């Protein structure tokens, strides 16, 4: 057994592996550096956060593929054959993962047409909450009770999406029940100025307080202040407290169900 040849071969292979590992580590560092530079440039140019994440994700995938091909070439593997094999595997995987690819295509359209972006409060795909990420395949939504939900982009693009952040304000819809005999005009006069004093309620448009309906308990008022989406629940709860406080201070009678007396024939 020729030990010098074996030792030289093992040494060469070890050095080759070490060099390949070093190439991989340097490549990964360069990929991270490139993505970081791109993110800083896009941030400096005030690019939308949704678009930033999407572009960074695509760049990361492309650069990692380039790194793998480069390492294979370094070890002497024919990269043209590998590219043909990769294409074949990609076709097979594409057929098997058609749903995943549809999510990818839907994600591209979501970025192009932008029905929503990161930070928007939406209802879509059967989920309601704030969009925290629009990725290559999924949209991440955090609900008001702080639960993270991941929805496929194809489901989001194929569903009806309500974007509550598309406009500078939204309306808070509440109702106030009055008892029979309580003056609706007096209640309206008390509520309107009080609503305007609630924090984060907009002055323009001004809060609406109008007669909405009549029922077996009396008059029903529509109480509708306006606010930014980020203040919606605060204004909702403060409006409820204000209605109870205002009616209590005014001494309004509590509404009760009026039942007709029916006399048997």
Task: Work out the angle between the directed axes of helices 49-74 and 3-44 (0-180°, nearest 10).
Answer: 160
DSSP calls for 25-81: HHHHHHHHHHHHHHHHHHHHTT--HHHHHHHHHHHHHHHHHHHHHHHHHHTT--HHH
Per residue in 147-200, pLDDT tens? Answer: 999 999 999 988 899 999 999 999 999 999 999 999 999 999 999 999 999 999
Mean pLDDT value across the chain: 85
How much is the average pLDDT of 125-147? 92
Percent residues over pLDDT 70 in the chain: 86
How much is the average pLDDT of 83-103? 61
Q: What is the pLDDT of residue 129?
A: 95
Q: What is the pLDDT of residue 172?
A: 97
Which DSSP state fits 20? H
What is the pTM for the complete model shown? 0.61
The alpha-carbon radius of gyration of the chain (Å, integer) is: 32
Per residue in 220-265, pLDDT tens? Answer: 999 999 999 999 999 999 999 999 999 999 999 988 876 655 554 4
Q: What is the pLDDT of residue 53?
A: 74
Taking the CA of residue 196 as centre, how many other CA atoms within 13 Å lie in the half-sphere pointing to its CB? 11
Q: Which of 53, 17, 16 is nearest to 38 (CA)?
A: 53
Strand partners, 148: 142
For 54, 108, 115, the CA distances from 136, given in Å and listed in that order, are: 6, 8, 16
Which DSSP state fits 231? G
Q: Which of 76, 75, 103, 96 is nearest to 17 (CA)?
A: 75
Residue 135, both tokens: 């990725």
* Least trusted range by pLDDT, from 20-29, 84-93, 110-119: 84-93
Report the 3 state secondary structure along 85-99.
HHHHHHHHHHHHCHH
Q: How far is CA 191 from the centre of its chain?
A: 35
Distance in angstroms (rounded) separating the CA atoms of residues 125 and 154: 9
Does the pLDDT at position 91 exceed 90?
no
Q: Which of 177, 165, 180 is nearest to 223 (CA)?
A: 177
Domains and CATH numbers, the chain: 3-96 (1.10.287.1260), 115-163 (2.30.30.60), 170-250 (3.30.70.100)
Q: What is the pLDDT of residue 258?
A: 61
Percent residues over pLDDT 90 in the chain: 47
- pLDDT category at 88 given cuts 50, 70, 90 is low
Q: What is the pLDDT of residue 231?
A: 95
Residue 170, both tokens: 């939204």
What order do you get walking across the sheet with 218-224 strand by strand? 174-177, 218-224, 208-215
């Amino acid at each position: 057994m020729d030990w010098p040849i074996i030792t030289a071969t093992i040494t060469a292979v070890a050095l080759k592996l070490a060099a390949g590992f070093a190439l991989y580590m340097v490549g990964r560092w360069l990929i991270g550096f490139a993505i970081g530079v791109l993110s800083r440039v896009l941030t400096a140019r005030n690019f939308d956060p949704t678009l930033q994440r999407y572009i960074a994700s695509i760049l990361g995938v492309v650069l990692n593929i380039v790194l793998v091909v480069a390492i294979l070439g370094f070890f002497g593997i024919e990269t043209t054959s590998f590219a043909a094999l990769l294409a074949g595997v990609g076709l097979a995987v594409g057929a098997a993962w058609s749903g995943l690819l549809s999510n990818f295509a839907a994600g591209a359209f979501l970025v192009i047409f932008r029905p929503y972006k990161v930070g928007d409060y939406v209802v879509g795909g059967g989920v309601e909450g704030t969009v925290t990420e629009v990725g290559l395949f999924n949209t991440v939504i955090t609900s008001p009770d702080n639960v993270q939900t991941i929805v496929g982009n194809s489901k989001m693009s194929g569903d009806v999406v309500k974007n509550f952040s598309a406009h500078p304000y939204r309306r808070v819809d509440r109702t106030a029940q009055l008892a029979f005999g309580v003056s609706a005009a007096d209640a309206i006069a008390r509520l309107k100025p009080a609503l305007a004093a609630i924090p984060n309620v907009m002055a323009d448009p001004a809060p609406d307080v109008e007669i909405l309906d009549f029922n077996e308990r009396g008059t029903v008022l529509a109480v509708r202040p306006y606010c930014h989406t980020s203040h919606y629940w605060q204004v909702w709860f403060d409006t409820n407290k204000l209605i109870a406080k205002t009616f209590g201070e005014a001494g309004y009678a509590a509404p009760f169900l009026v039942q007709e007396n029916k006399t048997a024939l």
